[in-house]
Structure 1
Amino acid sequence: MGHADRSRELATLLQLLHRAREADSAARLGFVMVNETLQLLPYRQAAFWRGGLRHHVAALSGLAEPDPTAPYLQWLSALFRHLEREGAIRSSQSLSAAVLPEALAEEWAHWLPEHALWLRLGEHGALLLARDLAWSEYEIRLAEELSHGYGHALRQHAPRRNVRAQALDWLKSGRHRRRALVAALLIACLPVRLSVLARAEVVPSDPLLLRAPVAGVIEKVSVLPNQPVKRGAALFDLDATVLSSQLALAREEARAAEESFRASAQLALTDDKGKMALAQDKARLEEKDINADYARRELKRLHVTAPADGVVVFSDRNDWLGKAVAQGERVMTLADPARVELTAWLPAAEAIDLSPGGQVTLYPNASPFHSYDAALLRIAYKAEVGEGNLLAYRLQARFVDGQRLPLLGQMGTARVYGDWVPLFYYALRRPLTAARQWLGW
């Protein structure tokens, strides 16, 4: 081969590599490989095998779009799969029917010429060139250089390998599988703290209940919700119309009894019968004085004041104005802001084994960057219907000393901690509970 022929071959090789780099898709690159490679290497047939997640014959010489149902493509696919299973990892390999299994060798003559050349294109495919003449060593070396450039260009269009695919490749090794199994068992047995979430609210600790002293109608509310008050401050008043009338009547009756007693006292000086009437009038006077004093005390009770310093907790005062209340009905609560505790409602479906002294952490809705630690005090033995008609257990917790207390009435989410359990139990607790309810274990 002369110098001019070598120069022409080198120019053709560079041109093909340039065309491969310019290909904007794997399909365009496949067309270049199976059709334009003929400019450098003479052959009758060419096939491009696309590797990766979906193995298939992606391009054939002389065809715009291969038909995957054609017998020729099905035989070629079986040939490529056999070569991959046999571990044909060299960059090039001469092929013939003699080196193939009987099932493939029998049909070789129907589909391909006598001599073929297998070219590995990295991890993402392979190129098969077939012709009647045997391949020379020089042609094989030239084809290897060309396949190296094709493989580099094909890598640019290969699908990106995700973490799942890389993990599956890593697990193909038996040693790696054993290591992964041991690691998974160790992780599954790691101890973690069992915990559940519950709706929570900051409530007063040992509040003073302010009740209606007598049955009546609330006439006036002198404070606002959550207003700080001092001892003796006016809170609310009941309607005094009825008691005022009773007091006025009792006073009039007391004055009448007093006049009757005075007259009887004068008559008793001269008449023995007057002495008997004097004792009766005295008893009547004492009775009327007692009635008037009772009405006066009851009237005074209609004006309710704060028994101590604190914060008044109740709903909107417009809801109470003009409302009829029974004797002893709660109207307000007087709370100490420095004495608060946590109330949480644990859904019955999320209930875990809890005991007093357990750890509770409050995450307020209004302060996402703050949390408060508390210790569990009491757990209700019976679930009650709460907000949203959901059954929930009422929990009471005391805030740990040494931290700033949350505001009274603050709402949030409480994480209630239980015992230490293995990680696999923590992850499978809910699915196992659902399966048990469904299967009726």
Structure 2
Amino acid sequence: MPVQGEKLILGLSALLQLNKRAFAAENEAAFGFLVVNETHLMTPYRQAVLWRHADKGSGEVVAVSGSPDPNARAPYIVWLTRILNAPKWREQTAPVGLTAADIDGDDAKEWEQWLPTHAIWIPLITGAGQRMGGMLLVKSVPWTDPEIKLLTKLADSHANAWELLLHRARGPGWRVQSLFSVPATRWRWGAVMLLCLVMLLPVRQSVLAPAVVVALDPAPIRAPLDGVVERVHVQPNQTVRRGELLITLDEAPLKSKLEVEERNIATLEEEYHQVLKLAVTDAESRIQKNILEKRLARQRAEADGIRILLRRTRIEAPRDGVALFNDVHAWLGKPVQVGERVMEIAAPDRAEMEIRLPVADVMAMEPDAEVILYPNLDPLSTWRGHVNRVAYEAREIEGVLAHAVRARFAEEQPAPRIGLRGTAKIQGGRTTLFHYLFRHPLTLLRQRLGL
């Protein structure tokens, strides 16, 4: 294998080792020692310097090869700091070679006193573009292209390792501290002021809640007596006319009672006719006649009452409209009590919204607040309306403690189908953006801390 190839392989192996050790450095001093001394394993040089970028375009020497703790007041360190703070080196993004001819002023005359002939400046820039500083390596012979490429790869790794090391040293609160520190930059304060102004912007308060279209003033159909549903003559959402038969209750118990009463009446009538013949001459028979008349009147009244109940087993529609109930089979054979609601008859063109507003989302609503309904079946359509009334007391609706809010539809729009479900947006009054975003978190915090 050619000698140049062996050197390249050794350099790559050293690069991998240096990357691993740089990310494992415990502090900045250990990192600086590694950079200026251990880089010699990858490529030979006479001396190495690690320079750190600071605020306001300045910088300082962090480490020098062969020196455990460089003295910032030493002439050599002062001279290095002066030449490396030149803008033309700080603004470099790629390795660049330099000699005494590239130094301005009297500092060029001191080059031969401190450094060999050839030097290379390698900027340390993270993947995010943050300038961490740079490395200065010097030796007596010119730098070759393979050496420069290896040093460029090493610089990328060292920059990221240095940034990670500084973040670990600063701790989790370093960003907040740097924001409120004395040398904080103007743009940070500007961003804070802009954020405060944005939070004070007036916005319209609103809340979303599930809603359903319900009938307006429906006629309830209730069971007129205790019984069992024998047959339902209409289907859900069927249009019915006034007087149309809706439900038939089981008549068998009432018919049995009526038959018993009619037999009793027949027996009393026969007994009455016999006593009536004797009452002409017998005083005791006349008394018995009066008793039978009263008993017969009572039995006939009871029979008439049963006949009235029999007529009530046929429930008819009180007006024109649509029959609103869930399922026919759910009512067949079901026992009902007097007053129990079985269905409703409602006008299809008279409807309103019932909004289930959870207790946690209740807000101050103006009278006649605007409401927008977004139906589930047709998300591209909307219906507008206005709040009509709000239930004073919350109750459990579909497993959620909520207030029932009723809203009427706008007159210029036809009312949607009864039973349509969707999401309603209730518009409230004006408030700040901060109150709109943080109302729930602040409420929860106040409930937990009792402030």
| TM-score category, normalised to shorter length | 0.5 to 0.7
Partner in structure 1 of residue 428 of structure 2: 418
Distance in 2, Cα, partners of 1:208 & 1:242? 28
- Give matches, 1:231-310, under 5 Å: 231-262=242-273, 279-310=290-321
One-letter amino acid of the structure 1 residue matched with residue 50 of structure 2:
A
- Give matches, 1:177-256, under 5 Å: 180-256=191-267
Distance in 1, Cα, partners of 2:395 & 2:292? 61
- Give matches, 1:4-403, under 5 Å: 64-65=15-16, 67=18, 68=22, 71=33, 73-74=35-36, 78-79=50-51, 81=53, 85=59, 86=85, 87=87, 88=89, 94=98, 113=116, 116=119, 118=121, 130-132=138-140, 176=187, 180-262=191-273, 279-388=290-399, 390-403=400-413
SS in 2 for 1:318: coil
Q: Which moved more, 1:262-271 or 1:233-242?
A: 262-271
Partner in structure 2 of residue 27 of structure 1: none
Query: Does structure 1 conserve the Cα–Cα contact (< 8 Å) formed by 2:349 and 2:414?
Result: no
Deviation at residue 354 of structure 1 after TM alignment: 2.5
Deviation at residue 251 of structure 1 after TM alignment: 2.8
Query: Does structure 1 conserve the Cα–Cα contact (< 8 Å) formed by 2:228 and 2:249?
Result: yes
Query: Does structure 2 conserve the Cα–Cα contact (< 8 Å) formed by 1:356 and 1:379?
Result: no
One-letter amino acid of the structure 2 residue matched with residue 213 of structure 1:
P
Deviation at residue 204 of structure 1 after TM alignment: 0.9
Deviation at residue 426 of structure 1 after TM alignment: 0.8
Distance in 2, Cα, partners of 1:325 & 1:405? 33
Could you tell me which runs of 5 or more consecutive residues in structure 2 were left unpaired when the two chains were aligned. Answer: 1-6, 26-30, 38-47, 60-84, 105-109, 161-174
Query: Does structure 1 conserve the Cα–Cα contact (< 8 Å) formed by 2:51 and 2:135?
Result: no
One-letter amino acid of the structure 2 residue matched with residue 233 of structure 1:
E
Deviation at residue 265 of structure 1 after TM alignment: 5.5
Deviation at residue 185 of structure 1 after TM alignment: 3.5
Distance in 2, Cα, partners of 1:127 & 1:77? 6
Distance in 1, Cα, partners of 2:443 & 2:393? 20
Taking structure 2 as the reference length, what is the TM-score of the superposition? 0.64
Cα RMSD for the two superposed structures: 4.4
CA, structure 1 residues 227+62, in 2 after alignment: closer, same or farther (shift >3 Å)? Answer: closer
CA, structure 1 residues 347+77, in 2 after alignment: closer, same or farther (shift >3 Å)? Answer: farther
Partner in structure 1 of residue 439 of structure 2: 429
Partner in structure 1 of residue 415 of structure 2: 405
Deviation at residue 249 of structure 1 after TM alignment: 2.6
Partner in structure 2 of residue 25 of structure 1: none
Partner in structure 1 of residue 166 of structure 2: none
Distance in 2, Cα, partners of 1:421 & 1:124? 41
Deviation at residue 403 of structure 1 after TM alignment: 0.8
Query: Does structure 2 conserve the Cα–Cα contact (< 8 Å) formed by 1:361 and 1:416?
Result: yes
Distance in 2, Cα, partners of 1:121 & 1:127? 7
Distance in 2, Cα, partners of 1:121 & 1:289? 113
Deviation at residue 178 of structure 1 after TM alignment: 6.1
Query: Does structure 2 conserve the Cα–Cα contact (< 8 Å) formed by 1:337 and 1:408?
Result: yes
Note the alpha carbon deviations across 1:334-393, whole angstroms, 9 max, x for none.
1211111111111112221224411222111111111111211222222222323x3212
Distance in 1, Cα, partners of 2:200 & 2:135? 50
One-letter amino acid of the structure 2 residue matched with residue 327 of structure 1:
V
Note the alpha carbon deviations across 1:146-204, whole angstroms, 9 max, x for none.
x9xxx9xx9xxxx9xxxxxxxx9xx9996655654554343222211111121211111
Distance in 1, Cα, partners of 2:199 & 2:246? 60
SS in 2 for 1:250: helix
Distance in 1, Cα, partners of 2:325 & 2:340? 13
